[in-house]
Amino acid sequence: MPTQKPGAGDLTRLLHAWSSGDVAARDALMPVVYQELRRRAASFLRRENRGHTLRPTDLVHETYLRLCQQNAGWKNRDQFFGVAARLMRRILVDHARARAAAKRGRGLRVTLSEDVGATAADALDILAVDTALAELATLDPRQAELVELRFFGGLTLAEVAEALGVSLATANREWAMARAWLYRKLKSG
């Protein structure tokens, strides 16, 4: 796939055309977003234990197939990648549940750490993260969305701030609060 990084305007133009029913625009979108989706998937999967069976390419392809089934009336690049983050989360959670069922409770393990490599000592069960994130969503939906975009979608804090329509300072503050809440929740749970 090409590594050329198109401008946000090119991507938004394709998303608008796809929303209007232009199938050719949908087909043209994959080469435009593939590298970014793959980068985000690889970043997330690097934090998992060595034994995980899902590859970045598999995660990207499954995410893209589900995106193609939606055509959510795309507004812009941030909304598209936000939906992609949610889909990646669902795919990873479903994959973890299937593995947990097959291995009697041993699911995929991830970390909320900002470090690239996770160790077994600080790894968390993705199913526990999903449950805690659902609880956080009832308390503070924006913080839950921020975590989802950041953790599952691989967005930077600047990208998250733009997607949520808040300042970078607010995104930083809410990211710190959400991480602290999730850390306490996951440690006690």
What is the number of domains present in the chain? 1
| pTM, full prediction | 0.64
71: confidence class by pLDDT, cuts 50, 70, 90: low
Mean of all residue pLDDT scores within the chain: 78
For residue 124, what are the β-bridge partners?
A: 110
Average pLDDT over residues 28-49: 81
Residue 54 lies in a domain: yes
pLDDT of 133-155, one tens digit each?
999 999 999 999 999 888 877 78
Residue 128 lies in a domain: yes
Angle at the Cα of 147 from the Cα atoms of 139 and 40, rounded to 5 degrees: 160
Residue 3 lies in a domain: no
Residues of the domain holding 19: 8-188
Residue 2 lies in a domain: no
CA 136: distance to chain centroid? 16
Residue 1 lies in a domain: no
pLDDT of 170-189, one tens digit each?
999 999 999 899 888 888 86
Average pLDDT over residues 157-169: 89
pLDDT of 105-123, one tens digit each?
444 455 555 543 333 334 4
Residue 119 lies in a domain: yes
